[in-house]
Amino acid sequence: MLRNLAVLALSYCAVVTGAQAQSAAPLNFATVHRPPFAIFHDDGVDGFSIDLMQAIAKDLGRPVEFAKQESFGDMLNTVRNAELDGAIANISITAAREIEMDFSQPIFESGLQILLPAEAGSVQRLGGVLAREILVLGALALALLFGGGFLMWLFERRHQVYFDRPMREAMFPSFWWALNLVVNGGFEERMPMSRMGRIFAVFLVISSLFVVSIFVATITAAVTVDAIQSNVDSVNDLEGRQVATVAGSTSAEFLARRDIGFRDFPDPEAMLRAFERGEIDAVVFDGPILAFYAMGRGKRHARLIDRVYRPENYGIALPTGSAIREEIDQSLLRLREDGTYDDLVDRWFGATYRN
């Protein structure tokens, strides 16, 4: 009997020791570069999701290691194939993914938003118009004023002192006279004296009314059309524009369902570089990532539409039947209750994104 008790004791010690060793084993999680959720550096990785996973691991009393992946698809494949304990970044919880893997409780509330170039101010917009219609009309107006002034010099040079000068010296005074005639109605003391000069002056004043009206109407129409064409208030305004998103993302699926053509990129960084080069009119992607970009690197040349499309949650992806899912969920609840989660949100996003 003593021998049997000793065997049982040794077996129990072996099981307990094995369980303790397993509980202390490092957690291995895949991740991918997705600022601000996961940011790769030469000396490691950080970000909201990374900090959260480290807090969970600390709460569970286990170290955690992160395996950097080249793409979002590679990261999810490590979970589908149960190569690692799980994956964390900005992983949307979807019905399709739930079939292939398990998810923790949501770790962040997200949704799709639209990123656009910063709105041009009145001066910038007018500058764009100047490069087109106004430039042509301005050149035409100057030519007419110089031509009208020259004709008036021909008619009046022998009838009043103002025009009695050589052609080279009379070019600007004649132009100035024509300009004042069109804008202010002319100078009373420089009223044309010759018959042809008076007839031409009357013709010039009457025709200038039409010229000025057309000039103002053209400017107004050009600015209005430019404003309408550049205005995007919702996803319905994206038709006919160069829209970008990330290939295989929930935003790509969202655009495809709405029959909105888009250009897909392998990752957000390539997409945002194309946006900065002016190759893209609008970006549709995860709101928090676009907000992080708009508040940082894209602060001067990008703006984010407030409306959120297709609200979704991010979660920690785990292999189907994962033994640590319950532990992670319990840890997440504890981190929310003790304020650790809110502190991480404030650090990376500010209180605005607090769930």
Domain annotation covers residue 114:
no
Q: What is the pLDDT of residue 201?
A: 75
Domain annotation covers residue 166:
yes
Rounded to whole angstroms, what are the CA distances from 344 to 294, 337, 350?
20, 13, 9
Tokens at residue 98, please? 């739930």
Domain annotation covers residue 41:
yes
In DSSP terms, which residues pair with 263 in a beta bridge? 244
Whichever domain contains 264, its CATH number is: 3.40.190.10
pLDDT tens by residue, 227-270: 444 556 677 788 888 999 999 899 999 999 999 999 999 999 99
Q: Return the axis-axis angle of helices 340-349 and 287-295, rounded to nearest 10°.
A: 50
Q: Do 270 and 349 share a domain, yes or no? A: no
Q: What is the DSSP string of 298-348?
A: TTTTEEE-S--EEEEEE--EE-TT-TTHHHHHHHHHHHHHTTHHHHHHHHH
CA 274 to chain centre: 11
Q: Name the residue range of residue 40's domain.
A: 2-107+315-353
Q: Do 210 and 128 share a domain, yes or no? A: yes
> Hunting for tokens 């999701």 — which residue is that?
49
Q: Do 260 and 333 share a domain, yes or no? A: no
Q: What is the pLDDT of residue 14?
A: 45
Whichever domain contains 165, its CATH number is: 1.10.287.70
Q: Do 93 and 6 share a domain, yes or no? A: yes
Q: Do 103 and 15 share a domain, yes or no? A: yes
Domain annotation covers residue 248:
yes
CB 161 within 8 A of CB 239: no
Rounded to whole angstroms, what are the CA distances from 329 to 59, 85, 317?
11, 14, 12
Rounded to whole angstroms, what are the CA distances from 21 to 14, 16, 17, 62, 330?
10, 8, 6, 10, 21
DSSP 145: H
Torsion, CA 106, CA 112, CA 118, CA 121, rounded to 10 = -110
State how far the Cα of 304 lies from the Cα of 352, in Å rounded to an integer.
15
CB 27 within 8 A of CB 63: yes
- The continuous run of DSSP H or E covering 109 comes out as strand 108-117
Whether the model clears a pTM of 0.75, i.e. scores above it, the answer is no
Domain closes at, from 230, 252, 268: 230
Domain annotation covers residue 30:
yes
Please tell me the total count of domains within the chain: 3
pLDDT tens by residue, 132-182: 566 776 777 778 777 777 787 777 777 777 777 887 777 787 777 777 777
